[in-house]
Every structure is written in C-alpha cells, then in structure tokens.
Amino acid sequence: MDHAHFPWRLLGTRLVDEGLLTQTQLELALKEQRRTGRFLGQIVIDFGYVSAFALARALAAQHGVELTGQPVDSDNEASTVDAQAEWRPLGKLLVESGTITKPELDEAIAEQRRDGKQLGQILVERGSLSATDLARALAEQHGIGSRAVGADLDGVVRTSAAHDAAYQVWEIVLAPTYRATSILYSSESFLDAVDFAFDFIEENEPEAVEIQHRKGTQSETLWMYSARRAEALAKSRKTLAETFGFDPMTWDGSPQARDLTDL
C-alpha cells in the first residue's frame, strides 16, 4: 500500500507525547506530508526535529523493546532517508531480507494472535531477532537507512501494561448490512495493528477489514479495507482515498466515536 495514503498522525502524536516533537512541529510536518506523501519520519528528520536514531528507538519501543546504547555518529542524518521506500509489513520485510525465516514468522504471528503482544517483542523474546535487527527493520520500514542504528545495541523487552484503550483489527461483512463479525487482533500499538491487518489481507483475502481505536464503550474507525473497493481501484485507477471513501491526508484525528452497543 502506498505510504502516502496512511493515517500518520497517530505516529506523530506518539512522538509529541514522548517529548520528541512539539505540537507545532507535528502540524508543520503533517502539512508537508500531505503535500508530498512522504513518510512522516523522513520529514521530521529532514526538518531537524528528531534524530534518525531517536525515531528508530521510538518505533522499537512501540514494539515492546527498549533500546540501549549509542547511535553511529553521522554528520548528515538526512542522507539516511530513502525517498523511494515503500511501506511493507514488518514480518514481510524481515523475511524478504533474510533476517528471519517464514516458519519463524508464522510461529510469531500465531503467538501474536493468541496473546496480543507486539510482533517485534515476540521475535526478540524468542531469540529470532536481535534488538539491533528490529531497530534496523523498523527504520527501513519507515524509509530510514540502517546507518541511523548502532552496530550492537542491547534491548530490554518490556511487559505491556494493561490498557483500556486498544487498536483492534476486525473482520467486516458488508452485505446485506455492515457488521463487525470478529476481532482478529488487539494491541496498544497502532502500527502493530496495521502490520497485522496488511498481512491478514494478503494471506486471507477477506471481504473487508478495519482498524478501530477502542476505549471503554467507545470506538473510532481509523482505517478500512474493502475487497470490492480495491477491485474497483484496479479497474478505474482511482486514488486510494476515492476507493476507500476516506482521505487520510486530510484526517485531523477528530474523534468520531460510536457506542459499541450499536455494533
């Protein structure tokens, strides 16, 4: 999927919450993202707001791994940006690069579906992946070169705290009426939920899938995939925003919650 059509604001909000960006810097970066379609991480690095290593460390933390150590010195971190990078799910990226095997990924995904833990956390716990390799893969996933990551970093797997807010991947039936049939995956990490959704769509070809942000009895749909709309896209070559009926480039994150009892 083209990274230009992806709701990056949640990543930016996380960077603000962690003190890596100011709200003003985030809004300026999002404006540039809407204009160019580039990865948000690339933009905040190019603008000098966040170092490439700090971004990689924040992404690893989202996968349940706290990095320790120092980055490789670089006088020109912008040179680590890969402007031609395309978004790939983390598991697919790791297998294609030969970092892990397909059986290792399948076992980790099975545990992910069972326990709801982050994929990166599971792979590091199992010894299939080092903290350094996880950070490098996440940097690559976001269009940042591996030069941003130190050669031999240590990582501490942190136990996920209980949260009443979660990002959930649901399988959807659209006909004869919209109905969320089953929850496929739940995580406190939005990007982990995206990785899972993309892999599920590729392997199972469902009618529809959506990612919901749930807190208490409220839910907000952040992203949706429809096989029928994807087919229409292939035939008409319309933009993803036209196909999915949702323009993430102008999404402002305003809550549009609905009562769960309506589902």
| pLDDT tens-digit readout, 52-64 | 888 888 888 877 7
pLDDT at 262 over 50: no
Mean pLDDT of 247-263: 44
Rg, C-alpha atoms of the chain: 18
CA dist 119 and 141 (Å) reads 14
Per-residue pLDDT of 156-204, as tens digits, reads: 666 554 444 578 888 998 888 888 888 888 777 777 788 888 888 888 8
Rounded to the nearest 5 degrees, what angle is found at the Cα of 148, between the Cα atoms of 1 and 23? 70
Give the residue with greater pLDDT, 233 vs 8. 233
In 5-107 the beta strands, taken as DSSP E runs, fall at: 65-68
For residue 152, the one-letter residue type is D
CA dist 209 and 212 (Å) reads 10
CA dist 103 and 109 (Å) reads 10
| Buried/exposed code over 155-173 (b: 16+ C-beta within 10 A; e: otherwise) | bebeeeeeeeebbbbbbbe
Burial class (CB in 10 A: 0-12, 13-18, 19+), 220: middle
CA dist 29 and 45 (Å) reads 10
Per-residue pLDDT of 118-160, as tens digits, reads: 788 889 899 998 888 888 888 888 888 766 666 666 666 665 5
Residue 147 C-beta-side C-alpha neighbours within 13 Å: 11
Q: Torsions phi, psi of 8, nearest 5?
A: -75, -10
pTM beyond 0.85: the answer is no
CA dist 101 and 95 (Å) reads 6
CA dist 244 and 233 (Å) reads 9
